[in-house]
Amino acid sequence: MTPSNNTDYSRRGYLVPIGGAEEKFNNPEILDKFVDICGGKNARIAIIPTASELEDTGRNYEKLFRKLGIRHAQVLQLITREDCQSDRYLDYIEKADGVFMTGGNQLRLSTTLGGTPVAQTIRRRNAAGMHVAGTSAGAAFMSEHMIAGGDEGSTPSPDMVTMAPGLGLTNNFIIDQHFRQRDRLGRLLTALAYNPFAVGIGLDEDTAAFIRPGDDLEVVGSGGITIIDPTRLTYSSMDRARRGDPVSLIDVKLHILIAGGRFEIASRKAIAE
């Protein structure tokens, strides 16, 4: 899937990929900011817990958003593809100010939501101004090219990552989560070696990229974001590497940004704060 067609980029809603394990109680800065951009206590937020196998995941986020002051937060129990055709759920998304996708397994999201009326409605509504956030698996699912799995380690290798189609809210980024905690530099580099058009976003836990309309992002949270820009890649050995071989990549640019840092997709410029 590619992003929903809308030439007026200023109307698009925010994308908010979160690296997982976001602070929920003591200082929920990321969730507070998401609530804020959605319109505050009068916002309407749809919670999609499809990625999780735990029955209480959605309800826990519903309680959390209500604790943050949201009056209208509702879990959409999208367990089967048939559920993703429900008029009741589609109507709620149509009227929502924000959608929040929980963590779990991103393949549960792609195989359940992919190509359904729910996915199409989220894409269209985001193009018209609705904000979409996702934590962990929910973050990975946002982009057109989704990291579905892979190995730990710092050196890229041809079989280090498994890719799958994502929701397609952006084709400018490939997103990975739990980044520093699970040593995922190599698999994000591998994904970018296969697709040097995109910019890589490696999200530490309790850290989010608030991606504004126009695809400029700001870092919020307690960790860092690794930005990998392969735009000026001059050499890659990926085309002749065999399974398990290390891959050489030359002229890849890397930035580490912390809270307040920004990255501008049009100019490929990183700003500390």
Which residues have a catalytic role annotated?
136, 178, 205
Task: State phi, psi for 134 to the nearest 5 degrees.
Answer: -155, 140
**Is the pLDDT score of 3 beyond 70?**
no
Distance CA(209)–CA(14), nearest Å, equals: 10
- Residue 47's beta-bridge partner residues? 75, 100
**Is the pLDDT score of 2 beyond 90?**
no
Q: Using one digit for the tens of pLDDT, what is the confidence trace for 224-257? A: 999 999 999 999 999 999 999 999 999 999 999 9
Distance CA(133)–CA(157), nearest Å, equals: 30
Q: Tell me the pTM.
A: 0.96
Average pLDDT over residues 125-130: 98
**Mean pLDDT across the chain, nearest whole number?**
96
For residue 120, with 0-12 CB atoms within 10 Å meaning exposed, 13-18 middle and 19 or more buried, which class applies?
A: middle
Helices (H), the chain: 29-38, 57-67, 87-95, 106-113, 117-127, 137-140, 185-194
Q: Using one digit for the tens of pLDDT, what is the confidence trace for 168-192? A: 999 999 999 999 999 999 999 999 9
Average pLDDT over residues 195-199: 95
Q: Using one digit for the tens of pLDDT, what is the confidence trace for 159-171? A: 999 999 999 999 9
Which are the contacts of 157, defined by CB distance < 8 A and separation ≥ 6?
151, 186, 190, 241, 243, 244, 245, 246, 247
**Is the pLDDT score of 9 beyond 90?**
no
Domains belonging to the chain, first-starting first, are 9-271 (3.40.50.880)
Average pLDDT over residues 31-52: 98
* 81 — pLDDT class (breaks 50, 70, 90): very high
**Is the pLDDT score of 46 beyond 60?**
yes
Distance CA(248)–CA(246), nearest Å, equals: 7
For residue 266, with 0-12 CB atoms within 10 Å meaning exposed, 13-18 middle and 19 or more buried, which class applies?
A: exposed
Which helix (H) or strand (E) segment holds residue 56: the answer is: none
**Is the pLDDT score of 100 beyond 70?**
yes
Q: Using one digit for the tens of pLDDT, what is the confidence trace for 248-258? A: 999 999 999 99
